[in-house]
C-alpha cells in the first residue's frame, strides 16, 4: 500500500511538472479570421478588420453588441453597444497563448474601461474579448451600471465567424 501511495504521488508530481513544461512551450495563438462574427441567434456580435496604412498588420475589433442578462442586480435584459475600436493583443494567461482585448493580469483577462450605449444613453462600462487558441471562437464580456437598471453584465462565449 505504501508503494501505491508513493507511485501515485510521483505520478501526480510528474503530471504537474509536465503541465508546467507544456504551458511554458504552448503554441502561439492563431489569429482569428477578419469579417463579421456573431452568435447563432444574432444577439451578440462584432466586426474584426485589418488596420489601414501603418496599422495594416494589426487586427481591430469594433461594432461590439451584446444583450445584458436580467438577473441579480440587473433589472433589465437590454442591448448594449460598446463604442470604439480596439486593437487585438497577444496574451499569455495561465500558460495559454491567447489573442484578445483587455489587460492580462495573473490568471485572468481584466476588462478595459469603455463607453457603452445602454438603454439609449451613453454610460461608462467595461469590456474584454478573447479568442480561443485556434482562433475559431470568441468570448465577449461587457459590464455597465445605471441608476435605473442597476449593475448589468453580458458574458457570451459562443461567438463564431459568420
Q: Write down the pLDDT at residue 25.
A: 60
Buried b (16+ CB within 10 A) or exposed e, 64-83: bbbbbeeeeebeeebebebe
Q: Write down the pLDDT at residue 143.
A: 95
pLDDT one digit per residue (tens) for the chain, 162 residues? 444 444 334 444 444 444 444 445 667 778 899 999 999 998 999 999 999 999 999 999 999 999 998 888 999 999 999 999 999 999 888 888 889 999 888 788 899 999 999 999 999 999 999 998 888 999 999 999 998 899 999 999 888 988
> Under a CB-based contact definition with an 8 Å cutoff, are residues 39 and 53 in contact?
no
Q: Write down the pLDDT at residue 26.
A: 66
CA-based Rg of the chain, rounded to a whole angstrom? Answer: 20
Q: Write down the pLDDT at residue 30.
A: 85
Rounded to a whole number of angstroms, the distance between the first and last alpha carbons of the chain is 56
* Alpha-carbon 36 to chain mean position: 16
* pTM (two decimals): 0.79
Where in the chain are the domains? Answer: 28-161
> Under a CB-based contact definition with an 8 Å cutoff, are residues 80 and 111 in contact?
no
Amino acid at each position: 500500500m505504501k508503494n501505491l501511495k508513493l507511485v501515485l504521488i510521483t505520478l501526480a508530481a510528474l503530471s504537474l511538472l509536465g503541465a508546467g513544461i507544456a504551458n511554458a512551450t504552448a503554441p502561439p495563438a492563431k489569429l482569428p479570421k477578419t469579417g463579421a462574427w456573431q452568435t447563432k441567434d444574432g444577439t451578440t456580435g462584432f466586426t474584426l478588420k485589418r488596420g489601414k496604412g501603418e496599422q495594416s498588420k494589426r487586427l481591430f475589433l469594433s461594432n461590439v453588441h451584446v444583450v445584458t442578462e436580467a438577473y441579480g442586480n440587473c433589472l433589465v435584459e437590454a442591448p448594449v453597444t460598446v463604442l470604439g475600436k480596439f486593437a487585438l493583443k497577444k496574451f499569455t494567461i495561465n500558460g495559454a497563448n491567447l489573442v484578445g482585448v483587455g489587460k492580462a493580469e495573473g490568471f485572468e483577462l481584466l476588462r478595459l474601461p469603455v463607453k457603452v450605449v445602454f438603454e439609449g444613453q451613453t454610460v461608462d462600462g467595461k469590456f474584454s474579448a478573447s479568442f480561443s487558441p485556434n482562433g475559431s471562437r470568441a468570448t465577449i464580456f461587457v459590464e455597465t451600471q445605471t441608476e435605473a437598471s442597476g449593475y448589468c453584465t453580458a458574458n457570451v462565449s459562443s461567438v463564431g465567424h459568420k
